[in-house]
A and B are shown apart, each in its own frame.
Chain A
């Protein structure tokens, strides 16, 4: 039996997956790119306009606002949860687990992780109510603590809306790095710690010199995946603010959605989502490059 014959016997198994992936992902994403070069309302024949949609994007405040908010979301979803998660995971691993046992540790870890399992729409409803200016829990807590002057229209005031969304995203994301980093810490050779103890290293030194460098692969994976997740945020914005007030919390995916389904600017919406697709694919390839070159993971 020749080698190619052996291989040929397997090709048929690829058929359903390849057909599905072509029909549901490859063709639509190419159609989306094609539509971005047209003026189209979604009915009738699209009119070819070349790069005009992209030229329009460059001069559109909403475009720049939506993509710059991504940076705020990367801070809230990738950077802050990673930093807090590192400390929490190390404290859980070094202090709580050896002194108070695995049950206390996994209970705490589960507590931090719970917001991660909620559907994004539900997260939006929970926080939409808590931050509601009239009947929300936060303003009413402030009121009963005698701090009524601190009460704000958290999601309705352009000065605070983006920060409020950022806090919510930290709350959502925190559990993911905690779980990942704790799994990473378990990998570390205890002899490294023993050697550090012999050298008289304190907790902070152990943390910065051993724990953090040893779990670099996990830190990298968390930063990459949460950064990409930040680029795609849609559900929370849809439920909480619809990008408002004004464009204070507008994000690319909601901006595209508006153009597709509310304004019948399909060509323009396609240009926005094409930029998003290119950005995500390019970023991932850069990340993968760095990863294979740096030897992390």
Chain B
């Protein structure tokens, strides 16, 4: 596979590596300065290697922001939305893609349009509605809203996958006397598991990263997600350079962790996810 390498090709490689390092530099800078003391930063600036690395800035910020709580909130919301979103998408797509219910095209167009509507066009009515039904400032409201939003996308994607579902498998299930629920649960879901895994991963990461709606809905500090808590604290402009870096690092780490864990699913799914 590997052929001869000329100096010119090494030149291309070096140029790409330099560019990749430039892209990664902001994150490296954040990591470097997150472990400095404010005195070290003041004396040597942001580019110097940390003199006596300490985690105190990170620990301080962790306590100040009650970060463990924020991680748990983000995790619970994202997980609930990912599970709920996949379940609702599967049910919809089963009816539309395999069941081919009447009005299928109209439903698909409706889900496509629903998928396009920007959250800016929903935010105020949802805010008003949630106050009416006493769900304002609750994580349940955020979970319900994002389950609907993500499943609009999932339905659109999964319906086209299910439209090409092998009919032999469905016929075989029918001959065995399996009803609709049994066929869905025993045949359709297991066969489409790889696609569902991609959807699940995307729903989880997308929900984790969401900002506008959680910002509006979760005003009590202890209900907030990681991005909202970080964004709000940043907005108060009371943080020095090392604390800012520490907070940014705490925001970067879970995202990088998901990236490393889900890398395969994500790159496989980016093509699929590009409809969004």
A interface residues (Cβ-Cβ under 8 A, vs B): 4, 7-14, 16-18, 20-21, 23-29, 31-32, 35, 42, 88, 91-92, 95-96, 98-101, 104, 108, 110-115, 117-122, 124-130, 132, 135-137, 140-141, 144, 171, 174-176, 179-180, 183, 221-222, 225, 228, 231-232, 234-235, 238-239, 242, 252-253, 256-257, 260-261, 266, 269-270, 273-274, 276-277, 280-281, 284
Interface: B161 (CB within 8 A): no
Q: In the complex, which residues of chain B have a beta carbon less than 8 angstroms from the beta carbon of A24?
A: 122, 126, 144-145, 148-149
Can you list 19 contacts pairing A with B, beta carbon distance less than 8 Å?
A: A17-B89, A20-B147, A21-B110, A21-B148, A28-B122, A28-B129, A35-B125, A98-B3, A101-B1, A111-B21, A118-B209, A119-B209, A121-B231, A135-B46, A136-B46, A257-B123, A280-B118, A281-B116, A281-B117
Asked whether B12 lies within 8 Å of A13 as measured between CB atoms, the reply is no
Q: What is the minimal beta-carbon distance from B96 to any residue of chain A, in angstroms?
A: 7
CA distance A281 to B100 in the complex (A): 25
- Identify which of B16, B26, B118, B147 contacts A126 (C-beta below 8 A): B26
Per DSSP, chain B at the interface is helix
The reply to whether B121 and A32 contact each other, CB–CB distance below 8 Å, is yes
Q: Tell me the complex Cα distance, A176–B273, Å.
A: 11
Minimum distance in angstroms from B114 CB to a CB of chain A: 4
> What 9 A-B pairs have minimum CB-CB distances, sorted nearest first?
A10-B99, A122-B251, A24-B148, A28-B125, A111-B20, A121-B231, A121-B227, A235-B211, A277-B121
Majority SS of interface residues in chain A? helix
Do residues B247 and A125 form an inter-chain contact, with CB atoms below 8 A?
yes
Asked whether, in the complex, the Cβ of B120 is within 8 Å of the Cβ of A257, the reply is yes
Q: Among A99, A110, A242, which residue has its beta carbon within 8 angstroms of that of B3?
A: A99
Contact across chains for A14 and B16 when beta carbons are under 8 A apart: no
A276 and B26 contact, Cβ closer than 8 Å, known pairs A119-B208, A137-B46? no
Contact B9 A99 (CB under 8 A): yes
B276 to A: closest C-beta gap in Å: 7
Cα A23 to Cα B271 in complex, Å, equals 30
Known: A10-B180, A28-B122. 16 other contacts (CB 8 A): A8-B101, A9-B99, A17-B151, A20-B88, A29-B121, A29-B125, A108-B16, A111-B23, A129-B248, A135-B241, A176-B270, A180-B270, A183-B271, A232-B119, A234-B212, A256-B120
- Within B237-269, the residues touching A (CB, 8 Å) are 240-241, 244-245, 247-248, 251-252, 255-256, 258-259, 263, 266-267
Residues of B within 8 A of A281 (CB): 113, 116-117
- Do A114 and B251 have beta carbons less than 8 Å apart? no
Binding site for A on B (CB under 8 A): 1-3, 5, 9, 12-13, 16-17, 19-21, 23-24, 26-27, 29-30, 33, 41, 45-47, 88-89, 91-92, 94-96, 98-102, 107, 110-111, 113-114, 116-129, 144-145, 147-149, 151-152, 155, 180, 184, 205, 208-209, 211-212, 215-216, 226-228, 230-231, 234-235, 240-241, 244-245, 247-248, 251-252, 255-256, 258-259, 263, 266-267, 270-271, 274-276
| Contact of B251 with A125 in the complex, beta carbons under 8 Å | yes
Of A100, A126, A180, which one neighbours B13 at CB under 8 angstroms? A100
Flag if B46 contacts A124 (CB, 8 Å).
no
Please name all residues of chain B whose beta carbon is closer than 8 Å to the beta carbon of A261 when the two chains form the complex.
Answer: 216
Cβ–Cβ < 8 Å partners of B235 in chain A: 238-239, 242
Chain A residues near B252 (CB-CB < 8 A)? 118, 122, 126
Q: How far is the CA of A230 from the CA of B1 in the complex (A)?
A: 41
Contacts of B95 in A (CB 8 A): 10-14
Q: Known contacts A95-B9, A100-B2: does B274 contact A221 (CB below 8 Å)?
A: yes
CA distance A284 to B180 in the complex (A): 35
Q: Using Cβ atoms and an 8 Å threshold, which residues of chain B touch A114?
A: 23-24, 27, 256, 259
Chain A residues with CB under 8 A of B234: 121, 124-125, 128, 239
Contact A135–B12 (Cβ < 8 Å): no
